[in-house]
């Protein structure tokens, strides 16, 4: 009772009927909530996309005197401020709703509410090619050199019975250029993906060009292959891609691959993270209206058995949609070297960075299929350096130093051969010693093929 009288007395002294006092109490409560949220984050309001954390600075005499520690405290206080994420989303929402713009520089708004990832727009206008190669002719030359290196690698892989498949995934800008903003001057340079496709045709290399495939599909199907807010193909397309790849592998190897059963489960407006990834990167306060998408799913046909094939994929984020799908269940073992840096695998112990992975030769040599799975932006990377990774693994395991040196001396003793290697080294932009070594390995592998 005494406590109740104390509370009533306290409230009476506050004069809550006074508007000023009520406002004061509200401000105090809000301030306390902001402080509590800053320390506990009891309400989850995280932002999507990449977040750069303030780099921690240890307190010592030097960091205190030069101001770096105080600068760190200031940045950390801003970063951890209560409801910071809400205010950022509210600001982004105001920019979008009032001015029809986005605050994320990596998202480009096109016509009819279409959104593109900036790096693909840069590729479409030739900015990427200019940054990497300086000119169209240089881009063509680089593509020819990359494919020439892959021919050397393919010959080396044949010794283990390994086949190579190149898969080209279409970018959204290439498939839906009509929605790009007017300031984008289209077709300023030849599509690098198309250039590689022509080289694959010329060299009779096994490849699947989904850009051409989906352009035909686009002209006949009403449903969008990319959503307005996605930068990868829509989830409902994945079953068709999976089935096409399995049939191609079946044709290449002569091994019966499981049949895919595709089910249409109606439509949905609840997009997956992949189908709304650009909307997520905009970090708005309210979700955008979305047209309904098909809910296609797929499974392997009843009674289907996984093949005895081992698969190694070198690719970009376009293959992410397959590693948790029935597609990888079709293989005895599968490995995905994302960007030739990160490893996902059916073997639980194979989880490491590629550079630190000690079993590279084991994976490469056991693979029946090596699949390169890229969209157009990835063709500027020279297959993410896989040629060098694979040749080093093959060199370290299969060829002794003395044997390589013997072949190198043979090449040097042949004036015309040595001259041709020098010319090849200059064309590829590598040292003569490295080119001699690559040629020696190629010769050694071909000797083994004839045995």
3-state secondary structure of 76: helix
Sign of CA pseudo-dihedral 212, 280, 327, 224 = negative
Return all residues near 377 (Cβ < 8 A) that are at least 6 apart: 119, 120, 123, 128, 171, 316
Of 409, 416, 414, the residue nearest 436 (C-alpha): 409
Mean pLDDT of 310-316: 96
Per the listing, tokens 């029946």 go with: 368
Quickly list DSSP for 351-403.
-SBTTT-TTHHHHHHH-SEEEEEEEGGGGGGTGGGHHHHHHHHHHHHH--HHH
**Cα distance between the two ends of the chain:** 101
Q: What is the pLDDT of residue 3?
A: 57
**Whole-number pLDDT of residue 49:** 62
> What confidence tens digit (pLDDT) does each residue in 398-425 have?
555 667 788 898 999 999 999 999 998 8
**Closest by Cα among 346, 332, 338, 330 to 313:** 338
**pLDDT (0 to 100) of residue 304:** 83
**CA dihedral of residues 321, 327, 328, 329 (deg, nearest 10):** 140
pLDDT digits (tens, 9 = 90+) for 104-139: 889 999 998 899 999 999 888 888 888 888 877 888
pLDDT tens digit sequence for 328-355: 999 999 999 999 999 999 988 887 889 8
Q: pLDDT tens digits for 5-27?
A: 655 665 565 555 666 666 767 77
Which residue is it, tokens 């080093």? 392
- Helices in 80-189 by DSSP H: which ranges? 84-99, 118-124, 127-132, 136-158, 172-175
| Dihedral sign of CA atoms 314, 317, 323, 326 in order | negative
pLDDT of residue 20: 65
Share of the chain above pLDDT 70, in %: 84
How many CB atoms are closer than 10 A to CB 17?
7
Q: Are strands 342-345 and 333-338 parallel, antiparallel or unpaired?
A: antiparallel
Average pLDDT value for residue range 240-261 = 94
pTM to 2 decimal places: 0.75
Structure tokens at 66: 């030069």
Distance CA 179, CA 79 (A): 36
The predicted pLDDT at position 26 comes to 76
Residue located via tokens 């896989």:
386
Q: How many residues does the chain have?
A: 451
Q: Cα angle vertex 221, ends 219, 226, to 5°?
A: 90
| Residue 51 pLDDT > 70 | no
Using an 8 Å Cβ cutoff, are 346 and 333 in contact? yes
Q: What is the pLDDT of residue 148?
A: 92
Residues 255, 306: contact at Cβ < 8 Å? no
The two structure tokens encoding residue 261? 């059963």
C-alpha span between 207 and 193 (Å, rounded)? 12
Contacts of residue 77, Cβ cutoff 8 Å, sequence gap at least 6: none
Nearest alpha carbon to residue 172 among 184, 157, 161: 184
Q: What pLDDT, in 10s, does the model give residues 373-397?
A: 999 888 888 899 999 999 888 876 6
Contact 142, 133 (CB under 8 A): yes
Percentage of residues in the chain having pLDDT higher than 90: 32
* Residue with more model confidence, 3 or 297: 297
Q: What was the pLDDT predicted at 411? A: 92
Q: What pLDDT score was predicted for residue 187?
A: 54
Region 181-200: what's the mean pLDDT? Answer: 77
Q: Would you say residue 70 has pLDDT above 70? A: yes
User: How confident is the model over 24-48, as pLDDT tens digits?
Assistant: 677 777 777 766 766 666 667 677 7
Name the residue with higher pLDDT: 420 or 83: 420
Between 203 and 55, the more confident residue is 203
How high does pLDDT run on average in the chain? 84
Gap between the Cα atoms of 265 and 263, Å rounded: 6
Q: Strand 369-375 to strand 163-169: parallel, antiparallel, or no bridges (unpaired)?
A: parallel
Residue 132 and residue 126 in contact, taking contact as beta carbons nearer than 8 Å: no
Helix axes 192-202, 210-220, angle to 10 degrees: 120
């Amino acid at each position: 009772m005494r406590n109740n009288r104390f509370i009533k007395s306290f409230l009476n002294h506050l004069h809550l009927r006074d508007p000023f006092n009520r406002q004061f109490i509200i401000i105090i409560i809000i301030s306390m909530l902001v402080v509590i949220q800053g320390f506990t984050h009891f309400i989850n309001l995280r932002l999507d996309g990449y977040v750069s954390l303030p780099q921690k600075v240890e307190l010592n005499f030097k960091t205190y005197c030069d101001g770096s520690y105080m600068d760190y405290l200031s940045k950390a206080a801003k970063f951890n401020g209560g409801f910071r994420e809400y205010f950022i989303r509210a600001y982004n929402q105001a920019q979008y709703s009032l001015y029809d713009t986005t605050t994320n520089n990596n998202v480009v708004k096109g016509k009819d509410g279409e959104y593109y990832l900036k790096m693909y727009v840069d590729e479409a206008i030739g900015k990427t090619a200019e940054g990497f190669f300086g000119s169209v002719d240089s881009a063509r030359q680089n593509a020819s050199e990359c494919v020439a290196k892959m021919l050397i690698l393919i010959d080396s892989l044949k010794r283990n019975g390994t086949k190579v498949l190149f898969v080209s995934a279409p970018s959204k800008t290439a498939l839906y250029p009509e929605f790009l903003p007017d300031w984008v001057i289209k077709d300023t340079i030849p599509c690098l993906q198309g250039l590689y496709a022509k080289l694959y045709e010329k060299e009779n290399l096994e490849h699947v060009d989904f850009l051409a495939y989906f352009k035909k599909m686009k002209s006949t199907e009403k449903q969008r292959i990319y959503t307005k807010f996605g930068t990868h193909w829509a989830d409902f397309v994945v079953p068709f891609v999976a089935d096409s790849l399995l049939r191609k592998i079946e044709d290449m190897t002569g091994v019966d691959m499981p049949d895919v059963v595709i089910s249409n489960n109606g439509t949905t407006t609840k997009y997956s993270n992949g189908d709304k990834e650009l909307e997520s990167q905009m970090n708005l306060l309210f979700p955008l209206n979305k047209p309904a998408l098909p809910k296609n799913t797929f499974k392997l046909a009843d009674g289907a058995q996984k093949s005895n094939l081992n698969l190694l994929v070198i690719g970009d984020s376009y293959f992410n949609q397959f590693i948790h799908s029935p597609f990888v269940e079709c293989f005895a073992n599968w490995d995905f070297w994302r960007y030739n840096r990160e490893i996902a695998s059916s073997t639980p112990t194979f989880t490491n960075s590629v550079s630190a992975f000690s079993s590279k030769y084991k994976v490469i040599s056991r693979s029946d299929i090596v699949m390169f799975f890229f969209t157009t932006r990835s063709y500027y990377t020279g297959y993410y350096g896989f040629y060098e990774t694979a040749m080093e693994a093959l060199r370290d395991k299969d060829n002794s130093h003395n044997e390589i040196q013997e072949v190198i001396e043979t090449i040097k003793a042949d004036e015309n051969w040595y001259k041709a290697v020098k010319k090849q080294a200059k064309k590829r932009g590598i040292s003569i010693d490295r080119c001699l070594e690559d040629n020696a390995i190629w010769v050694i592998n071909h000797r083994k093929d004839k045995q």
